[in-house]
Amino acid sequence: MVEVKKILFPVDFYESSNKVLPYVKFMAEKLGAQIELIHVVRGPGDFTGYEMGGAWYSSYEGELLKGGEKAMERFKEEKLSGLDVKTTVAVGDITEEIIKHAQKTGSDMIIIGTHGRKGLERVMFGSVARGVVRGASCPVLTVNPFKVST
């Protein structure tokens, strides 16, 4: 028998998160699952190769984390008020942190939005959703936010 008791929902605070959220709520309600939100702040490794290097990052990491935590609380209060929702803000490679967090917390499912990037943009920026689908040890539901109406 399949049991889904914990759903991990990575959020980026763009409009796409708002468009995927109804699917997260629906699945959590129907399955009796808890929702856990994660937001990943890009780590210094994402800036390797820039002329300024990654050293500048350490002076801003604390501020980025505080900003991420404030945005996460605002998202939770505005979009998931009254629900039992856990939140996490992590630093590092977005795909790796989502997968690591899902494993660490025992998530039974990940619901993630795709950004629908194509061509050169997809090659240059990669696809977080694609990486999560490939690397996660639990089922992943992807939702293209540009193909749904809210």
Phi/psi zone of residue 53: left (φ > 0), alpha (ψ -120 to 50 degrees), beta? left
Q: Is the pLDDT of residue 32 over 50?
A: yes
Is 78 a member of any domain?
yes
pLDDT for the residue 3: 92
Query: Domain containing 22: what range?
Result: 6-147
Is 1 a member of any domain?
no
Q: Which two tokens stand for residue 9?
A: 């929902």
Q: Report the CATH number that the domain containing residue 10 is assigned in CATH.
A: 3.40.50.620
The total number of structural domains in the chain stands at 1
Name the one residue in this structure whose structure tokens are 């300024």: 52
Average pLDDT estimate for 12-41: 94
Using a pLDDT cut of 90, give the percent of the chain over it: 61
Is 116 a member of any domain?
yes
